[in-house]
Amino acid sequence: MTRRSMDGHHSLAWLVAAALVVGCGDDGSAGTEGSSDTDASTSGASEGSSGSTSTAAESEGSTGGTDGTTTGGQTFPNPDDAPSYDGDAFVGMQIYDVRADLWLDEEALMEGLDPVRLVFVGEQHETPPIHELQRWVLEREILRHGDVALGMEHFQADAQSVIDQYLADEIDESTFLSMSDPWTGYSKYWRQLVETMKIVDGPVIALNIPDEALDSIYASFPQAPIDVFNGWGPAFPYDAYIPPRPLAPWDAVYQGYFEGSFDYGSHNLGLSYDDALNYFTDLALIRDDTMGYHVARHLEETSDRVVMVGGDWHVQTGLATPDSVKKFTDAGESKLITTATPADFDVLRATMVADRPIADYILVYDPV
């Protein structure tokens, strides 16, 4: 695929204008979610997420990166002095560096992301301001570095060829949606991300394990999922879309992290608590290692940077998908971004799991 250049003569405003044209057409081709594609969460108005501007004078902050080097970014000990950014679905967004305990401007954030090729942006699913913030980060990575790929939890890996056909304009959007089976709510929440990549001729990586593979695991119940998975050979119909076997088993740290969000009442399959926890920890690991494998393959096979979007559980602390990437490539060093409203911020920034902070950066926002 020949990518459209994103050199200096292309401005952020150009990208926003193009997103507005592509993302908000009147032809009704927005997919299964119908009119939801035209709402604020999928459009890029000039005052929206892509064109958001600082509302504080950056010159008031100190110049320098969080490692003490002199850079173009600004850092601020006090959030009252730091700039904020507005979008269509969020207002007053400010950027917090967790380890440095500093507030940043946009440039300082981007400088912090520069050393790595992989950036994770977590989400609470189906939350419009968060998905707009994911696009905010994605667009800035594209403008800064050019060759950027988008990895998505929201597509099964066996949909990759269909995604590629859509991005290459070989099929229309209605065909793409009917064949790719994205998550319910795609048109309202995640379409804006894919359409941004379509504009810049950038790749979208489908990361998730195929449903048919999961069905095979459930059909073997009560056999342990990881045993079923590791028993699949090259003749397994979905071998091309899952990582090499055998997967290494999870450890106590991973299960302890998973247990913090495990709902035994809804996920027990008639098993005891301990057996159900083990069963669903297996499934979580299989998902993480599948997504990590596909991210790792792209890092190994291209020179792209990758922005991966997925659920906060998979991203926060790095114990899930980010650590899985490192199992398959030495290029897996990453930076982690999560989000919070002001009401949740203090708890989130103080959260530690296995001596790991919740993320490298928190985007603190108010929803519109």
Is the pLDDT at 24 greater than 50? The verdict is: no
Neighbour order of strands in the sheet with 361-367 = 62-63, 74-76, 102-104, 90-97, 361-367, 334-340, 118-123, 305-311, 148-156, 204-208
Name the pLDDT band for 45 (thresholds 50, 70, 90): very low
How far is residue 148's CA from residue 281's CA, in Å, rounded to a whole number?
32
Closest to 16 measured CA to CA, from 47, 54, 53, 44: 44
Looking at per-residue confidence, does 293 or 47 come out higher?
Answer: 293
Domains and CATH numbers, the chain: 12-209+290-367 (3.40.50.11550)
Question: Do residues 279 and 271 lie in contact, with contact meaning Cβ atoms separated by under 8 Å?
Answer: yes
Q: What is the pLDDT at residue 14?
A: 52
pLDDT digits (tens, 9 = 90+) for 119-140: 999 999 999 999 999 999 999 9
C-alpha dihedral sign at 141, 108, 124, 14: negative
Least confident window among 11-20, 229-238, 315-324, 350-359: 11-20
Q: What is the pLDDT at residue 15?
A: 55
Is the pLDDT at 320 greater than 90? The verdict is: yes
Rounded percentage of the chain residues whose pLDDT exceeds 70: 81
Burial zone of 46 (CB within 10 Å; 0-12 exposed, 13-18 middle, 19+ buried): exposed
Q: What is the pLDDT at residue 37?
A: 36
CA 143 to each of CA 7, 191, 219: distance values in angstroms, whole numbers, following the listed order: 7, 20, 46
Q: What is the pLDDT at residue 92?
A: 98
How far is residue 247's CA from residue 348's CA, in Å, rounded to a whole number?
31
pLDDT digits (tens, 9 = 90+) for 70-86: 479 999 999 999 999 99
How far is residue 265's CA from residue 281's CA, in Å, rounded to a whole number?
15
Token output for 80: 């009252």
Is the pLDDT at 330 greater than 60? The verdict is: yes
Is the pLDDT at 16 greater than 80? The verdict is: no
Q: What is the pLDDT at residue 46?
A: 33
Arithmetic mean of pLDDT, 33-60: 39
Is the pLDDT at 20 greater than 70? The verdict is: no
